[in-house]
DNA sequence: TTGTAAGCGTTATCAT
DNA sequence: ATGATAACGCTTACAA
C-alpha cells in the first residue's frame, strides 16, 4: 500500500523496478486514487471556491473566467457557486465550501453587511479574497476592486462640461462598495464644478430591469427631472431603455445616458451608449493571484485597485434646453 | 462519538437529555462536521456538478440558475465548472468532479465527439444528464434539449413567405446537436416550400464575434448573397451586426435578420431583432429534475424536448428587390 | 439508549 | 528501499 502511494505521489525513495510494477498494476486494474480520502489525509484539496452574487451578470462571468485561468495554471480547480443575490444562499455556500475543504475562496458577496456571512468569515480558517467588495476594517479582508469612483467622476464631469446640471444615478444596493463609490464619484464631480450635491439624485434599487424601469420613470416625473442618467448596472440599463422608449425620449437627443460596464447593447444601441468600463478579466486574474499568494502564506497586498475608463459615445450629448448658469 | 453523530444526523435512538447535552457542546465548541470524512464514509456527497462549455453565454447562466433552484430545493449543492470551450478542460473537469464524488452531473459539453470525454463517460459510475447535447446511441445518455429545428423551420418559413429565397445560417460547431438541428430546420423549411437545398447556406464557425463578423462578410460577398441571415448564437449576432454596420446595410430594410436566443440587444436594437427563443431556465429545471430521478434510481425519461418559439420583430421584412418567383 | 470498535482510502511514521 | 501500522474524522454494526 505505502509503496503504491509513494509511486503515485512521486516520492523519491522507490526503486525503478517496484515503480514499474506498481505502474503496470495501476493500468491493469484501472486504479484511480480517491481524492476524498487523499484530501482527508493531507488536509488540502487543491481546489478553490468562488461564491458569486449573481451568475447572470455577464461581467461576473468574465471575472470568473479570468480567475479560473490563473488557478488552472497553478494546478487548482475552481468551483463556482451562485448565490442568486440571496444572503441566505450565500452563507450556505460559504459553509458548503468550507466543509468541502477548499483551500481558498473568492467572494463577490451580494451584501457586505450580512450578519450570518460576517459571522462565518470571522472564524473562517481558509484564506479568502473579496472581489469588488469591502468589509469593515476589523476583517482586514484582502480585496480586488475597480476604481468606480474616478470612472463616474470623469463621466459626470464630461456631462457637466456638455452643459448638464442635473443627474440621475441608478445604482444597486449601497450596501456594496461599487454602489457607494459610484455615488461618491458623482458627488465629487458636482463639487469640483461647484454644483449643489442635491443636483445628483441617487436611486438605490435592486438590480432588475423592472426596478430600473420604475426608477427611471420616477426620475422623469420629478418637478425638475435630470437631463442625464447614469445606469449603474446592465440590468438596470435595460429597464432605463424601456422607460425611455415608453416615453418616446430619444437617447442622445432628449436625454443623455451613461452606462456602467461594456455589454453588447452599449455598442449596438442607436445611438451607441457611453460607458464606464472596467477590466473584468483583469479583476478575476488579480483576485486569483492575490488568493494564491495568501494560500502560500506569502506577503501580499491588502487591496488592489484596478482603473476604470470612461468611453464617450453619442448617447452623451448636450442637454436639449441649455439651462441658465 | 457515535452519539454525537446520531444527534447530528437525526437518528431516532437518542434520549432528549443526551441530545440537549450534545447540542450544547456543539455550540460551545463551534463544532462543524467534516463533510470530507462524512462523504468518505457514506459514499455520497449530496452535491452535483455542472460542467458548462462556456460560462460567458448568458443563456448558460440562466440554465444554471434554473437547475440550481431545483437542486437547492432537493437539498443538493450544485458546483459549476467552466470549460472555456476547451475539450481538454472539459474532461479534466469531469474527472475532478468524479474524484470529488459528486452524486450526479449535468453536462453541456463543448463537443459531442471528444474521445477523452467519451471514454470518461463510458466508465462514469454516477448518473449524468446532457443539456442541449446528444451522444451516440450506445451511451443511452439521458438529455434535455430544445426543439431548435422547428423554431428555425418556422422562422425560415415566415421569411420565405415574405419573399426571401436565399438564406445564410451562421451556426456553431455541427458537432453539437443544436447546430445540426438548426441546419435541419432550415433545410426542412426550404423543402416544404419547394426551394433548393442549396439556397440555404450554412456556415459553421467558432462562437466568437470575430468569426461572426468574418462569416457575415463572406456571405455578403457571394455572387448571389442571401437576403436573410440567421445568427445562431448571441456572440455570432454581435459579429453579424458589426459586419452589417460596416457595410452600411440597414437591418430590416437591406437585409432580414433572425437571431437565436433572447438577449438584451435583440429587444433594444433598432429595429428590434426577431428571435427563435427557448426556455432557458426551463431547460435547467428539467435537467435537474431528470438527474434527481436518475440519482434516486427512479424510472425516468430518456430525452426531454422543450419547445422553442419564433418571435417576429421588424428585423424581418420582405427583401429589397423582390426576386422573380 | 448508549458506548465500543471497525472501516471508508489515503499518507506519514516507524521499523526493518 | 520496503512494508506494517496508525491516523485523518466520520458512520454504523454490534455489544452492552
Q: Using a CB-CB distance cutoff of 8 angstroms, which residues of chain B are in contact with residue A68?
A: 82, 84
- Looking at residues B24-38, what average pLDDT do you find? 84
Residue B323, pLDDT > 80, answer: no
CB contact under 8 A, B234 and A264: yes
In contact, B309 and B276? CB cutoff 8 Å: yes
The whole-angstrom distance between A18's CA and the closest CA on chain B is 26
Interface contact flag, A65 B55, Cβ < 8 Å: yes
**Tens digit of each residue's pLDDT (9 = 90 or more) over B284-319:** 999 999 999 999 888 888 999 999 999 999 999 999
Pairwise CA distance, residues A279 & A275, whole Å: 13
Give the model's pLDDT for residue A275: 98
Per the structure, the residues numbered 6 to 45 in protein chain B that have their CB within 7 angstroms of any atom of strand D are 6, 8-9, 32-34, 37-38, 40-42
**pLDDT reported for residue A39:** 86
Average pLDDT of span A13-31: 86
The overall average pLDDT reported for chain A is 92
Cβ of residue B245 near strand C, that is under 7 Å? no
Q: Is there contact between A75 and strand D, defined as CB under 7 Å from any strand atom?
A: no
Q: Is the pLDDT of residue B324 over 50?
A: no
Q: How far apart are CA A275 and CA A146, in angstroms?
A: 14
Mean pLDDT is lowest, of A264-278, A310-324, B220-234, for A310-324
Lowest model confidence (mean pLDDT) among A81-95, A142-156, A160-174: A81-95
* Minimum mean pLDDT range among A29-33, A149-153, A209-213, A237-241: A29-33
- In this predicted model, what pLDDT tens digit does every residue of B96-132 receive, in sequence order? 888 888 899 999 999 999 999 999 999 888 999 999 9
pLDDT computed for residue A319 by the predictor:
93
* In the predicted structure, residue A199 carries a pLDDT above the cut 70: yes
Task: Establish whether the CB of A44 is closer than 7 Å to any nucleic acid atom in strand C.
Answer: no
DSSP letters, B2-39, are HHHHHHHTT-S-S-HHHHHHHHHHHHHHT----HHHHH
Q: Which residues contact B309 (CB under 8 A, 6 or more apart)?
A: B151, B276, B277
Residue of A41, A80, A248 to mutate for B, most B C-beta atoms under 10 A: A80
Min Cα distance B62 → chain A (Å) is 6
pLDDT value at A325 more than 60: no
Chain A partners within 8 Å of B252 (Cβ): none
Mean pLDDT of A63-72: 93
pLDDT at res. A3 = 86
Write down the pTM of the prediction: 0.87
Residue A25 CB lies within 7 Å of the nucleic strand C: no
A65 vs B34, B82, B269: nearest CB: B82
CB pairs A-B closer than 8 Å: 121
Answer yes or no: do A93 and B79 touch at CB < 8 A. Answer: no
| Average pLDDT estimate for B260-268 | 93
Please state which of the ranges A273-282, A285-294, B88-97, B239-248 shows the lowest mean pLDDT. B88-97
Residue A324 has a pLDDT of 47
Does the beta-carbon distance from B56 to A58 stay under 8 Å? Answer: yes
Please say if the pLDDT value at position A194 is more than 90: yes
Across residues A54-66, what is the average pLDDT? 91
Distance B2 CA to C4 C1' (A): 9
CB-nearest partner of B36 from A36, A55, A95: A36
Nearest to A79 among B56, B72, B79 (CB): B79
pLDDT value at residue A141: 95
CB-based contact A265 B265, cutoff 8 Å? yes
Per-residue confidence (pLDDT) for residue B100, from 0 to 100: 80
Amino acid at each position: 500500500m505505502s509503496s503504491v502511494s509513494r509511486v503515485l505521489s512521486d516520492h523519491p525513495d522507490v526503486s525503478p523496478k517496484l515503480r514499474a510494477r506498481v505502474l503496470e498494476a495501476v493500468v491493469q486494474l484501472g486504479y484511480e486514487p480517491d481524492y476524498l480520502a487523499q484530501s482527508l489525509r493531507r488536509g488540502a484539496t487543491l481546489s478553490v471556491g468562488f461564491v458569486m452574487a449573481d451568475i447572470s451578470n455577464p461581467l461576473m462571468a468574465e471575472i470568473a473566467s479570468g480567475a479560473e485561468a490563473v488557478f488552472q495554471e497553478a494546478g487548482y480547480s475552481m468551483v463556482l457557486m451562485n448565490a442568486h443575490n440571496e444572503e441566505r444562499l450565500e452563507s450556505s455556500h460559504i459553509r458548503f465550501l468550507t466543509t468541502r475543504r477548499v483551500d481558498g475562496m473568492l467572494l463577490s458577496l451580494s451584501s457586505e453587511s450580512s450578519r450570518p456571512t460576517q459571522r462565518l468569515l470571522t472564524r473562517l480558517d481558509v484564506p479568502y479574497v473579496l472581489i469588488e467588495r469591502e468589509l469593515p476594517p476589523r476583517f482586514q479582508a484582502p480585496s480586488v476592486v475597480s476604481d468606480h469612483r474616478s470612472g463616474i467622476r470623469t463621466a459626470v464631469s464630461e456631462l457637466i462640461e456638455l452643459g448638464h446640471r442635473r443627474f440621475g444615478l441608478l445604482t444597486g444596493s449601497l450596501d456594496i462598495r461599487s454602489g457607494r463609490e459610484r455615488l461618491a464619484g458623482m458627488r465629487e464631480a458636482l463639487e469640483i464644478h461647484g454644483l449643489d450635491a442635491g443636483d445628483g439624485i441617487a436611486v438605490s434599487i435592486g438590480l432588475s430591469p423592472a426596478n430600473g424601469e420604475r426608477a427611471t420613470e420616477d426620475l422623469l416625473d420629478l418637478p425638475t427631472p435630470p437631463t442625464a442618467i447614469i445606469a449603474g448596472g446592465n440590468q438596470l440599463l435595460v429597464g432605463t431603455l424601456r422607460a425611455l422608449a415608453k416615453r418616446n425620449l430619444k437617447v442622445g437627443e432628449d436625454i443623455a445616458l451613461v452606462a456602467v460596464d461594456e455589454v453588447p447593447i452599449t455598442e449596438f444601441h442607436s445611438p451607441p451608449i457611453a460607458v464606464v468600463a472596467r477590466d473584468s478579466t483583469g479583476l478575476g486574474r488579480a483576485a486569483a493571484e492575490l488568493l494564491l499568494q495568501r494560500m502560500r502564506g506569502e506577503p501580499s497586498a491588502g487591496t488592489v485597485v484596478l482603473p476604470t475608463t470612461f468611453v464617450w459615445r453619442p448617447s452623451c450629448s448636450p442637454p436639449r434646453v441649455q439651462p441658465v448658469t
